Amino acid sequence: MSDMDLPTPDVSVDTIDPETLKSRIDAGEDVTVLDVRAANDYEEWHIEGETVESINVPYFEFLEDEIADDVLAEIPDDREIVVLCAKGGSSEYVAATLKERGYDAVHLEDGMNGWAAIYETVEVSRYDGPGTLVQYQRPSSGCLAYMVYDDDEAAVIDPLRAFTDRYLEDADELGVDLKYAIDTHMHADHISGVRALVEEGVEGVIPQKSADRGATYTDIVTLAEDGDEFQVGDVTIEALYTPGHTTDMTSYLIGDSLLATGDGLFTESVARPDLEEGDDGAPDAARMLYESLQERVLPLPDDTLIGGAHFSDAAEPADDGTYTAPIGQLEDEMEALTMDEEEFVELILSDMPPRPANYETIIPTNLGQNVVDDDEEAFALELGPNNCAASQEALTGD
């Protein structure tokens, strides 16, 4: 039974929009969420937080005239319940059904699709290079992107196709020209926005090594090699080849202050090495990653900020609200960064999380080998956690 087939409830229910729910969670309010999606969808990803109580009861449990007592027993009747589903249809029905029985229930507008559409901007206050640097944060999946702007120019690093209009609107509001759209590598967890921005007149930049991986659109973008520089006002963005997560992984040093590491190094973990060549190629990729970290990243000044393309539930934001941290701090906190090569390789291969959902479709799409014209289909492909890092618990020694 689809949302369209659900009975029409006899009562109306109030709606809460995703942004309001997010602000309440950020403020530390106690929130009780009833997620009525199937158990496997819930296990893959759901709304979490220190003050969030999350309950999973599939919507079909509420379709009977007499709802089972054990089902109702799972749902608190002394507080507001936020009911959510995938798109907002079945959650409205369930919320109404609960309201008929005396519960204080509201439903989340657009469900988890609405949650996935939240995209926040936070200034990186510790960035001390020229211009201004902001971090884009997508809480539903942990995706991060960056925009640096100075004078009348801007660049965005690791843009998402789903938010193409957002980057252009932000640049327009700031009164700057979006000059560059830069990818660190061929992402496995979301559809890149570089080509969409190229269609809007922005200069696209992808790593030179992405061409070796089979990128089909090298004629419409600039290929970045190690040491290449891109100028945005007085800000210099320098390409730093850091393979390991993938063979094309390229970091970008922004204003000699923050290294946008893509999926090479995060504030709570390092990259997983198995998304390009699979399990067989993972050991060699892990050694390549070790060399990149030890020879290209860690020798940078200790106060150089690291800003990855993702954050996980294990990540703690900095005082400015961004997921950034100085290299020196990460060396002190992350055991994996001080190991010898063989220890490092053994560790990151020992506890690999599940691969990103739909990565076998997303990677060829980002390479241009697979076409996904429909924006809704592209959006659906990247729903869920990114899973681009190795196990955080193992790497931090927790």
Element (H, E) at 181: strand 177-182
The Cα angle at residue 327 between residues 325 and 332, in degrees rounded to 5: 95
Average pLDDT (133-148) is 96
Give the pTM.
0.92
Question: Two tokens at 88?
Answer: 């907002």
Phi, psi dihedral angles at 55 (to 5 degrees): -120, 135
Give the pLDDT confidence score for residue 236 in this predicted structure.
Answer: 98
- Which sequence positions are flagged as catalytic? 85
Dihedral through CA 98, CA 100, CA 104, CA 109, nearest 10?
Answer: 70
Percent of the chain with pLDDT over 90: 85
Question: Two tokens at 144?
Answer: 């991060």
Give all domains of the chain, ordered by start, each with its CATH number: 3-115 (3.40.250.10), 119-396 (3.60.15.10)
Give the pLDDT confidence score for residue 1 in this predicted structure.
Answer: 43
Average pLDDT (233-249) is 98
DSSP 117: T
38-47, 213-222, 352-361: the lowest-pLDDT one: 352-361
Confidence of residue 395 (pLDDT cuts 50, 70, 90): low
CA distance 251 to 323: 16
Phi-psi region of 387 (alpha: psi -120 to 50; beta: other; left: phi over 0): left
Average pLDDT (41-65) is 92
Question: What are the tens digits of pLDDT across the range 283-319?
Answer: 999 999 999 999 999 999 999 999 999 998 889 999 9
Average pLDDT (236-249) is 98
Element (H, E) at 262: strand 258-262
Q: What is the chain's mean pLDDT, rounded?
A: 93
Question: What are the tens digits of pLDDT across the range 333-343?
Answer: 999 999 999 99
Average pLDDT (20-40) is 96
